[in-house]
Structures are given as C-alpha cells and as structure tokens.
A = this chain, B = another copy of it.
C-alpha cells in the first residue's frame, strides 16, 4: 500500500479516522470497511496496533509524510482510511433528529453523548455539517461507527419514513418545560433539535409536542450539545433506555 491520502472532501466515497482512539473503534466495529491504517513512526503503541490490524486483515502502512498532508494541526499519529457505507434507522427505537446542525464538533459530540445514553439512531436533516468528516468522527471519539445514522433532505422526508414516532421538538419560548415529572413516558419518540444559531423554525411548534429546558436570564440559550445532552438524558432515564 503506497496510496496517498488526500485531504478529505465531502464528495469522496471514503473518509478517514484521525487519532488512535477513533481508529481502534473503527477496527473494533467495522473492520470490513477499512482500506488501510497509516501509522506514524512516532506512535507509541505500534505492536498492539499492528496486531489489531492483522487480526482484522487490514493492511497497515508506515508513512510519516502522509500525516503532514492530512493533519490539520490535529497532531494525530494514526489514520484509518475507510469506505463510506449506508446505514438506516430502526423503526422500533427512539431517534435523535438534528435539523441543520452546522458545526462538526457539535455533531460529533452529540453522537458521542447519544451513544453513551444508549440511543442508537440519528437522523440528520440537510443542509448539515458533514457526518463523515474526520473532525466529526474525531469529536464523536469513533462512536459514529456504533450508531445508525441517515441524512435526509428535509424533515418531511424523515417523517414520511417514520410515522409512528412521537415528536418532541426542543424550542425556546414554547412554555412546556422539561423536568423529570413532565418528561413523557413513551417507548417510541424523536427528540428534535435545531441549528446552533437559529434553532428550529417556528413551524415546528405544531410538529408534535414542543418542549424546552428551563434557563435563567443569564444566557440567550443553551449550547446545542448541552441541550441535547440534558434532553436525551432525561428521556433516557424516564423511559429506561
């Protein structure tokens, strides 16, 4: 293997993990999609990683130069190149729905939080940050490979596929405050969150049951990742996810 890795672009049919942790997660969960693992000569734990690659029948390459090309200040010593794959959501489990998330770090962090809270299904409504981008994968700590996710062109396209889920858009000013008591008991629900800067469009007020997290007057809003964590946690506990 002496293929050069090119700096990731959205229209490629492959992407890569950056960093040992996400790469090992990739090998542990989806070895069949991995094309190659690139290891920097300065990486500390070479023997274990080589063994893991061999166990998965994945070729590994030592090539310090390729890290210069693709490492945008990330300082990682391991890269795992993989083919993108199709994934679809379960009709029988709760969903997280992100409408137009714009920040890759936020998207990855929410994937990590969702996976930690036993959610396994994420819908992303375009336009949105690229779920396949190495930055998103890195922020997810590789949890992307452990969940189902699917991008939709519109919320309506998502809804057409899943008509049974109870919908809970999170919107400031709706007046229905989330608490442990008020949290709905339901086995099939979708928690819906809007864009970082603009939130959800007012039309979501009539899409299901709008809820909000009570906040002090000291801030304009919660950070998206914090709001998603709080809501996903409360629904998960209440509904024994």
Chain A positions near chain B (C-beta within 8 angstroms): 21, 105, 109, 112-113, 115-118, 141, 143, 146-147, 179-180, 213, 215-216, 218-223, 225-226, 229-230, 233-234, 237
CB-based contact A146/B180 at 8 Å: no
CB-based contact A113/B222 at 8 Å: yes
CB-based contact A116/B225 at 8 Å: no
Question: Which residue on B lies nearest to A229, using beta carbons?
Answer: B226
Q: Please measure, in the bound complex, the distance between the C-alpha atom of A179 and the C-alpha atom of B233, giving whole angstroms.
A: 10
Q: Please measure, in the bound complex, the distance between the C-alpha atom of A160 and the C-alpha atom of B141, giving whole angstroms.
A: 37
Question: Which residue on B lies nearest to A115, using beta carbons?
Answer: B218
Query: Quick one: which of B115, B147, B179, B222 contacts A116, CB cutoff 8 A?
Result: B222
CB-based contact A223/B112 at 8 Å: yes
Q: Please measure, in the bound complex, the distance between the C-alpha atom of A234 and the C-alpha atom of B237, giving whole angstroms.
A: 11
**A241 CB, nearest partner CB in chain B, Å:** 9
Of A21, A116, A146, chain B has the most CB atoms within 10 Å of the CB of A116
**Which residues of chain B are within 8 angstroms of A180 by Cβ–Cβ distance?**
180, 237
**A162 CB, nearest partner CB in chain B, Å:** 22
Given contacts A115-B216, A143-B219, 19 further A-B contacts (CB under 8 A): A105-B105, A112-B219, A112-B222, A112-B223, A112-B226, A113-B223, A113-B226, A115-B218, A115-B219, A116-B218, A117-B216, A141-B220, A147-B218, A180-B237, A222-B229, A223-B225, A225-B226, A226-B229, A230-B233
**Which residues of chain B are within 8 angstroms of A219 by Cβ–Cβ distance?**
112, 115-116, 141, 143, 146
**Which residues of chain B are within 8 angstroms of A222 by Cβ–Cβ distance?**
112-113, 116, 229
**A92 CB, nearest partner CB in chain B, Å:** 17
Q: Please measure, in the bound complex, the distance between the C-alpha atom of A115 and the C-alpha atom of B21, giving whole angstroms.
A: 33
Q: Please measure, in the bound complex, the distance between the C-alpha atom of A117 and the C-alpha atom of B226, giving whole angstroms.
A: 11
**Which residues of chain B are within 8 angstroms of A113 by Cβ–Cβ distance?**
222-223, 226
12 contacts between A and B (CB under 8 A): A105-B105, A116-B218, A116-B219, A116-B221, A117-B216, A146-B218, A179-B237, A180-B180, A223-B225, A226-B229, A230-B230, A233-B233
Q: Please measure, in the bound complex, the distance between the C-alpha atom of A218 and the C-alpha atom of B223, giving whole angstroms.
A: 24
**Which residues of chain B are within 8 angstroms of A147 by Cβ–Cβ distance?**
218
**A7 CB, nearest partner CB in chain B, Å:** 17
